Amino acid sequence: MSRFEGLPEIRRRGLEKMEQVYGFEMSDGEGDFFRYTADHLFGDVWNRPGLSDRDRRLLLIGLLAGKGYADVLGIQVPAALANDELDAQALREIVIMICHYAGWPDGAKLNAVVEDAIGKFERQSRRDADPGEA
């Protein structure tokens, strides 16, 4: 049973996809901006056939890195790791590509986000494997 039971189907599907894509719990919102984000972008666009979530994530990471949006990368990179869409090796390869195609400063920002996310992910994985470990 979905936490979003009772909402219109498109909103439920959108909020569930938002949680998956962002990697954290979402709640319903109000207003046209939220409606377009939840219903259209996540309820429709992220659920279209033709591209996997991994494909969409790769495109988004490339776009965000190329535009220098490191703040949003701080959401997308950890979620890609958590959703098993990209592993540490793939993320490090993306950094190298971005450095050469989008420029070293944007690639360096992405590298900082990637290494931080990998470190946190690996520490959490170790804690999950051995709950007694601090």
51-91 pLDDT per residue, tens: 999 999 999 999 999 898 888 999 999 999 999 999 999 99
User: Which residue segment(s) compose the domain that 25 sits in?
Assistant: 9-47
Co-location of 42 and 57 in the same domain:
no
CA distance from start to end of the chain: 34
The predicted pLDDT at position 130 comes to 86
The predicted pLDDT at position 1 comes to 60
Collapsed DSSP state (helix, strand, coil) of residue 86 = coil
Co-location of 101 and 121 in the same domain:
yes
Contact (CB, 8 A) for 118 and 82 = no
60: in domain:
yes
Co-location of 74 and 124 in the same domain:
yes
Co-location of 68 and 15 in the same domain:
no
Question: What Cα–Cα distance (Å) separates residue 39 from each residue in 92, 106, 127?
Answer: 33, 31, 36
Co-location of 119 and 65 in the same domain:
yes
Percent of the chain, pLDDT > 70?
97
Number of domains in the chain: 2
Burial group, residue 114, by CB count within 10 angstroms (0-12, 13-18, 19+): buried
